[in-house]
Amino acid sequence: MTVVKLDSKFYGEVRKVKDNSVVPDDEYIVFLAKDNAFCAILPNYLEECIRLGADQEQIDAVVRMMERAREWRAKHPERCKTPDARGERLLDLDNMQ
């Protein structure tokens, strides 16, 4: 089975805090707190988690993450921006598989 890397703007190793296991490339996508579009949709993500019946731990984790992102953005408004890929060295997905 071929693993397809979902996010070509970022690379590295992502680990789950709960058990330190590595998350495979075909299971994660990276968004940044400085991304104005991402932060704008976070309330919708929270609503969708609730609608789908996510457990309270997930809901609480999303709320805390949203609060941390808001605090970071308030401290670093000069770093917040409209998302773009201009100037990025996107990974060649065919070579990553």
Q: 């609730």: which residue's tokens?
A: 50
Q: What is the pLDDT of residues 27-52, one digit of tens each?
A: 999 999 999 999 999 999 999 999 99
Domain assignment present for residue 8? The answer is: no
Q: Does 4 fall in a domain?
A: no
User: In the block, which residue shows the tokens 């984790």?
Assistant: 61
Q: Does residue 46 lie within any of the structural domains? A: yes
Task: Work out how many domains the chain is built from and give that number.
Answer: 1
pTM of the model: 0.80
Quick check: is 43 in a domain?
yes
Exposed / middle / buried, residue 38 (Cβ in 10 Å: 0-12, 13-18, 19+)? middle
The two structure tokens encoding residue 41: 């949709």
- Is residue 11 assigned to a domain? no
Query: Helices (H) and strands (E) in the chain — how many of each?
Result: 3, 0
DSSP helix/strand/coil, 62 = helix
Q: Is residue 3 part of a domain?
A: no
Domain that holds residue 29: 25-96
Give the C-alpha separation, 15 to 96, whole Å. Answer: 19
